[in-house]
Amino acid sequence: MKIPLTIKETQDGLIKKEFSAVQLVDAYLERIKKYNEEYNIFLTTSDEIAYSKAKKFNDLDQYTEEFFKENPLAGVVVGYKDIFLTKGIRTTAGSKVLESYIPPYSATSVSRIENAGAIPIGKLNCDAWAHGSSGENSDFGPTKNPWNKEYVPGGSSSGSGAALAANMSLITTGTDTCGSIRLPANYCFSVAIKPTYGAVSRYGVIAMASSLDTVGPIGRTVEDVETVFNVIKGEDGYDGTVVNSKFEIRNSKLRVGIPKEFFTEGIDPEVEKTITLGIEVLKKEGIEFKEVALPSTKYAIDVYYVIQPAEVSSNLGRFDGIRYGNGRDSFGDEAKRRIMLGTYVLSAGYYDAYYLKAMKVRSKIISEVDKVFDEVDALIAPVAPTPPFKLGDKVSDPLTMYLTDVYAATANLCGIPSLALPSGFSKQGLPLGFQLMGSRFSEPALFELGKLYHKAIDYVPKVAF
C-alpha cells in the first residue's frame, strides 16, 4: 500500500476504508525492516504494542469525522525520540548507560499522544543524552540522512527527522534545548515546533539542561504539527513550569522582524537566498517586514555553552548505576566533556567569571528580545548556517560542531517558541528551510504564518524514497 503522508490523508483513508490500522502498521514496519540497517533510524521497534493498539482501532466502521474529533490522533503512527520514557519499551537516551533500561511509566507527552489514539511504532536514535547537532554522538552509531546518506540528518533528535524523510513514521517527537527539534526537521525537509518553555510538560523526558529543555512534535505539515502540539500542551501537575496560559494571536495584521545579527558572514548563500525568497512570498501575502536589531544575541551561543554544561553536570549526576543503568563507566566522550566543563564553570573559583556572567548576559538577551516583540509578532531567521553537512566533517572539532547551533540558542535562552519550516532544496538536492520565532505563547501566530507561507509556495510534503 501507499503510505499516506499527513494526518488528514491517513484519516480520510480510514474513513474511506482504503486500508485498516493494522495494514498501516504492517506497511510502516515493513519499511523499517527494509531500510533501518542502512540508515540507523530506530533503536527499538514496539511491534507488539503497535499491533495491539491497531487491532483496537481496526473496526473500520467506527471511523467518522466525529470519531476523529474525539480521537484526533487515531490511526496516526508515531515514533518517539529515545529520550522520552515509554512504559514497557526500552529507553536509552542514545547512551550505553541506559542500554537495557525499561521505564515503569511514560512521559506525559507520550501518554497524551496515545490517549488521543496514536499508534506507537518505536524509539528513535538520537545523540547520547541529546548532546549534539548531527546525530553522530549516539552510542548506537550515527543516523544517516535519507535525502543523501553521506550527510547528517541533524541532531540531536536525528532519528526523529530521518524517520519522516524515510517514511517510517507519520509524526515523531523531539526535544529542543538548543535546536534539536528544529535542526533535524530543517535537515530532513519536515516541519517542527519548538514550543514556549512552560507550554508542554517535560515530565518523563530525560533531562538535559532543565532551564532550556522543551518538548515538541515533528511532522510534514504545519497542520499536523499544530494538531500534535494541541494534544500535548498544558498542565499535568508534574512539571511546575507548565502553566495553562492563553495562547493567542495578538494582532490581526502580522508583522515580522528581520534580525540583522542572524544574517552575518558565516551564512551559506543558499540558506540566505531561501529566506530572502520566503520574505518576498510573505510580503506578497500582505505580511509586513522590518529590520530589527538584537545586538546581544551574538553572545547567545557562548552563553548556552556555559549554562548548558552547568545544568548537565547536575542532571547527569543521577546516573550513578545504583538504582538503574550501567553506571558512569559507560559515559561517552561528549557527555564527559560537558560534565567537566559544567563542573568547572560552577566551581567556587570560576562561578562568577563564567556561570554568573552567562546568566547576566542571558537576562540581557531576554530583555532585548522581549522589547522587539513590542514591534513585531515574529522573527525570521535561519535554523542553521549551512544545509546538511557530511557525516564525519565536524566530529573531530567540537567547537565547529557547536557553531551549528548559533541561530538556535536565542529561542531556548529566552523560552520563546520557534517554528521550523521546509522551503525547498539546495542545488545538491539537500533540504533547506528557516525558522519563525515568536513571543512566549504565540504558537498560533507562528502556525498561521507557516500555513500562509506553505499555501503560497504550493508546498507538498515529500519523502526521500
Q: List interacting residues with ligand GLN (CB under 6 A).
A: 130-133, 156, 175-180, 208, 308, 405
Name which of 132 and 422 has its Cβ closer to ligand GLN: 132
Question: Pairing between strand 288-292 and 255-259?
Answer: parallel
Name which of 130 and 432 has its Cβ closer to ligand GLN: 130
- Give the separation between CA 27 and CA 14, rounded to whole angstroms: 14
156 given a catalytic annotation: yes
Nearest distance from C-beta of residue 174 to ligand GLN, angstroms? 8
- Give the separation between CA 314 and CA 295, rounded to whole angstroms: 31
- Give the separation between CA 181 and CA 188, rounded to whole angstroms: 11
Name which of 171 and 209 has its Cβ closer to ligand GLN: 209
Name which of 19 and 151 has its Cβ closer to ligand GLN: 151
> CB-side exposure of 30: number of CA atoms within 13 Å?
9
Nearest distance from C-beta of residue 42 to ligand GLN, angstroms? 19
Name which of 206 and 436 has its Cβ closer to ligand GLN: 206
Nearest distance from C-beta of residue 208 to ligand GLN, angstroms? 6
Nearest distance from C-beta of residue 225 to ligand GLN, angstroms? 17
Say if CB 364 and CB 413 are below 8 A apart. Answer: no
Closest residue to ligand GLN using C-beta atoms? 180
- Give the separation between CA 93 and CA 316, rounded to whole angstroms: 12
Catalytic hit among 46, 180, 296, 423: 180
Name which of 93 and 464 has its Cβ closer to ligand GLN: 93
Residue 133 is classified by DSSP as S
- Give the separation between CA 408 and CA 413, rounded to whole angstroms: 9
81 given a catalytic annotation: yes
Write the single-letter amino acid at 88.
Answer: G
- Give the separation between CA 170 and CA 447, rounded to whole angstroms: 19
Write the single-letter amino acid at 198.
Answer: G
Q: Report the DSSP beta bridge partners of residue 86.
A: 89
- Give the separation between CA 152 and CA 144, rounded to whole angstroms: 6
- Give the separation between CA 455 and CA 127, rounded to whole angstroms: 34
Name which of 6 and 137 has its Cβ closer to ligand GLN: 137
> CB-side exposure of 61: number of CA atoms within 13 Å?
0
Catalytic hit among 109, 156, 157, 418: 156
Nearest distance from C-beta of residue 334 to ligand GLN, angstroms? 8
Nearest distance from C-beta of residue 305 to ligand GLN, angstroms? 8
314 given a catalytic annotation: no
Radius of gyration of the chain (CA): 21
Query: CB pairs under 8 A, 24+ apart, for 351-357?
Result: 354/306, 355/306, 355/307, 355/310, 357/306
Nearest distance from C-beta of residue 183 to ligand GLN, angstroms? 7
* Inter-CA distances, 269 with 257, 408, 422, Å: 20, 18, 16
Catalytic hit among 46, 53, 81, 123: 81
- Give the separation between CA 193 and CA 346, rounded to whole angstroms: 32
Q: Which helix (H) or strand (E) holds 372?
A: helix 357-372
- Give the separation between CA 421 and CA 434, rounded to whole angstroms: 6
Name which of 178 and 222 has its Cβ closer to ligand GLN: 178
CB-based contacts of 268, cutoff 8 Å, min separation 6: 385, 386, 387
Nearest distance from C-beta of residue 337 to ligand GLN, angstroms? 10
**Active site residues per annotation:** 81, 156, 180
